[in-house]
Amino acid sequence: MGRAAQGELVFHEVGTWGGHREGAGRKARKDGVAHAPRERVTRHDPMLVTIKRARGLVNLRYPAAAQVIFERVMFAQKEAFRITHFTIQDTHLHLLVDADDATAFANGMRGFVASLARALNKLWGRTGSVFPERFHSRVLKSVRAV
């Protein structure tokens, strides 16, 4: 019984399986909020936050949806995170938020958006994403900006 011969290593042509190829990988988003670092949050400066709902969903100004939003805003009030004012638009919300620090802001917004999405999905009898994009926030540095 002899030794087995080593098999030949076969290379596939470029552009077939694996490796770098045009069009591969995660696609860049053309819309939405960039995943850039957020501005510094302090308890002295309020934040203007915009949250957009998914396309094809019910108008947020309808009375039942507006009532759910109002209730969730009231539930979101914490010692270190407060939604002081808000407006309901057809497709998005504007919030004026006070937070003690970046952690309180991030945790408060995460909890508020998740709670609101669950409540709206329950109201509409559906499942799935209600706010698919990252919320946009901006620190308001002056009284005039507020």
Return the pLDDT at 89: 94
Return the pLDDT at 19: 61
Find the helix packing angle between 102-124 and 63-75, rounded to 10°.
Answer: 150
Q: Cite the beta strand spans of the chain per DSSP E.
A: 47-52, 81-88, 92-99, 136-139
Burial label for 136, CB within 10 Å (0-12, 13-18, 19+), is middle
pLDDT in tens, the chain (146 residues): 667 888 887 766 655 555 666 777 777 666 666 666 666 676 768 889 999 999 999 999 999 999 999 999 999 999 999 999 999 999 999 999 998 988 899 899 999 999 999 999 999 999 999 999 888 888 877 777 76
Return the pLDDT at 1: 64
d(CA 93, CA 30): 21
CB-based contact 102:40 (threshold 8 Å): yes
d(CA 96, CA 108): 13
Give 4's Cβ-side CA count (13 Å radius). Answer: 3
Nearest to 86 by CA among 102, 98, 75, 70: 70
Domains belonging to the chain, first-starting first, are: 47-139 (3.30.70.1290)
Q: What is the DSSP letter of 124?
A: H
Give 6's Cβ-side CA count (13 Å radius). Answer: 3
Return the pLDDT at 138: 84
Return the pLDDT at 5: 82
Q: How many residues would you count in the chain?
A: 146
